[in-house]
Chain A
């Protein structure tokens, strides 16, 4: 019985592991150090910040590829800020303060936005809890205590009337299963 808890716990473990590793993906490049003077800023630096910003007018289009004049002005603003030595985070903070958290691809983790981080984890954990209980109940209903010993070939169990699969097919599956059990 114990061994059959494995799949769910494997799933859960994998999920948590995946969560942890996915957060690694999110880390971007380090911002240029402020040096107090006006410095040369490349398009690439501006774009790397702009791609995480969405203007409120042309929603769903990141700032780095948006073609409107408003967005061009915003990109210039980012450039100016970088030239004045501000960091990536300074720029994001500025936009969030001026236009609200909705202009950032990853909204600030505060207030209602926290739900965006809580909900997926909660959905999987709470859903997983009910799901595993559901599975256990199903297992109880069908338990005969001999799960480890018997290995059933599907063709032997399914009565022909409940299966629309033609005979030749069953035969083929049986053959595959025989191959498998070698």
Chain B
């Protein structure tokens, strides 16, 4: 981006982007660790994920304040305004992604008899896809790369397909093993959370595209 006459504005934007990157890093780690905790049954790790979510919330508040102050003080125009508005929205969505991970972590202790619980093996692959989308969309934000953002949007179909697949698998597992229904129901929520994370990554991707080009990406089938 070209430099601005008001140097303080550059400082503010850089700081804003730094804060969002930091939030993104935290939420990325939260997805990974909540899944690891879920698969291994590691409640200590899960508790850490829950605890660390507070940091994401704090950063979110900080982004909000800074963005509003920039708008109030500097009245940015055109791409500068887009940048700030996108930052404001993206921070909100990234915060939600953190919440979904926290929710997954909270369910770790509620799975019983995990050694014999086959549906658990279905989750990591879906988690990998969702986490990859979040990773890519944050990289797209850092690089202001609309093409990578589009790729993230395209990947959401795969996460949805996974969700449907896991849903069916878990439901048929419940039918065959009624004793595990309460644990299996928890897994459905975990899968649902991952699916929502994918949707939110898509939302961020659309905003990255918007901030970079001024238009929302068209719906297209390649």
Partners in one complex: no
